[in-house]
Amino acid sequence: MIVLGIESSCDETAAAVVRDGTQVLSSVIYSQVPLHQPYGGVVPEIASRSHIEKIRGIIEQALTEAFPESSNPLDEVDAIAATCGPGLAASLLVGWSAAKGLALASGKPLIPVNHMHAHLWSVQLDRASVQPEAVYPQLGLAVSGGHTCFVEATAPNAYRLMGQTIDDAAGEAFDKAAKLLGLGYPGGPVIDRVARTVPMELRRSIAFPQGKVAADHPLPEGLRAELCVSFSGLKTALLTYVRKNPPQSEADTARICVAYQEAIVDAIAKRAEIALRTGRYKTFAVGGGVSLNARLREALQAVADRHRVPLLLAQARYCGDNAAMIAGLASAGGGLTADNPLEWDIDPSLPV
Ligand code: KG4
Ligand code: ZN
């Protein structure tokens, strides 16, 4: 099955064509980062306007790159998939409406996809075909600018949320810290880079909180407090620390970055440890922009090795938002089931 995928949930306009879940025929991503950089974060109105301007060209490029010989490349695909949530409403609307229009005009099936499921599927892209019995049950961790969640997957279309952040997402924690330290946007890559300059023994020279969620904290049904995390206290602790000890040099800033990053990495790795210890999983998949973080990769690899569960990480180009993960998941049968998807609307807070 060959699927055209469209993604526009946040600040990337993306389209891709994927065959049978894993073979990426094309993947085009237009990143709006430079547009949002002056504001230190994503501005929804700017994001949606830019999606509108770019989406058509991006879809056409993905189709022609996938089928350079074809005079009507849309004819070559079996279905059209798009993210219908979660994400920014005005951004989601652009990609979802484009997909609806193409589906209506071409008569091809429309497949709604949950963005979080797709992040977990991203680890399979460009790999050999997936043998479900070797992959599932799977522990999934999606870490991005908008989400931090632990999920149990038993099939490409079967997910159960076990834990999540109760306030800021991990990427948001990185971005807010970088803003506070004057390091620019997005913060994760800069902090990752700056932190690498600090020697091992200085990694924990500042103690930051690790985001424990009290066992009696009220949580939605089915969530386990031990697999939930809170990053807002970390941000406050950073602010307090910087007010009392304003960094005097690049070395001071680097020392703060590394300790802050360590706190986020430890918080996530500890919960991964609990999830792997208390469940039986064949694989551990980690997706989302923050999964590019070198220290996080190292820490999660160590946890996975201890539990002898293979760690599946996405290729760097599929860690951030992209449409190959949308088309890939849909062509593997992981889209959301809908009687009449043309009547579906976007859902900015679509649950896992
Ligand atoms: O998945 P993504 O591209 O978009 C969302 O769905 O949010 O993730 C973007 C997030 C940003 O917060 C960015 O700071 C973070 O991923 N990020 C990183 C790294 N690269 C990107 N965080 C930590 N270390 C990195 N190397
Ligand atoms: Zn994402």
- At which residue do the structure tokens 């849309």 appear? 74
CATH number of 2-121+319-343: 3.30.420.40
CA distance 206 to 218: 30
Whether residue 144 has its Cβ less than 6 Å from ligand 1: yes
The residue extents of the domains of the chain are: 2-121+319-343, 133-314
User: Using CB atoms within 10 A of its CB, is residue 334 exposed (0-12), middle (13-18) or buried (19+)?
Assistant: buried
Distance 335 CA to ligand 1 centre (A): 24
Q: How many CA atoms lie within 13 A of 158 on its CB side?
A: 8
Q: Are 169 and 42 in contact (CB under 8 A)?
A: no
- The finding on whether 10 has its CB within 6 A of some atom of ligand 1 is yes
Measured in angstroms, how far is the CA atom of residue 151 from the centroid of ligand 2?
Answer: 15
What lies within 8 Å, CB to CB, of 139 at 6+ separation is 150, 151, 152, 272, 275, 276, 279, 281, 283, 284, 285, 309
Task: Give φ, ψ of 35 to 5 degrees.
Answer: -70, -35
Does 133-314 match 2-121+319-343 at the fold level?
yes
pTM: 0.96
Tens digit of pLDDT at every position of the chain (352 positions): 999 999 999 999 999 999 999 999 999 999 999 999 888 888 999 999 999 999 999 999 999 999 999 999 999 999 999 999 999 999 999 999 999 999 999 999 999 999 999 999 999 999 988 899 999 999 999 999 999 999 999 999 999 999 999 999 999 999 999 999 999 989 999 999 999 999 888 888 899 998 999 999 999 999 999 999 999 999 999 999 999 999 999 999 999 999 999 999 999 999 999 999 999 999 999 999 999 999 999 999 999 999 999 999 999 999 999 999 999 999 999 999 988 999 999 999 999 9
C-alpha of residue 251 to centroid of ligand 2, in Å? 32
Specify whether the CB–CB gap between 27 and 324 falls below 8 A. Answer: yes
133-314 topology per CATH: Nucleotidyltransferase; domain 5 (3.30.420)
Ligand 1 atom closest to 9 (CA): 6
Residue with tokens 């060209």: 57
Atom of ligand 1 nearest to the CA of 320: 3
The 8-class DSSP code of residue 118 comes to H
- One-letter amino acid for residue 134 of the chain: A
The protein residue with its alpha carbon nearest to ligand 1, atom 10, reads 145
Residues near ion ligand 2 (CB < 5 Å) are 144, 321
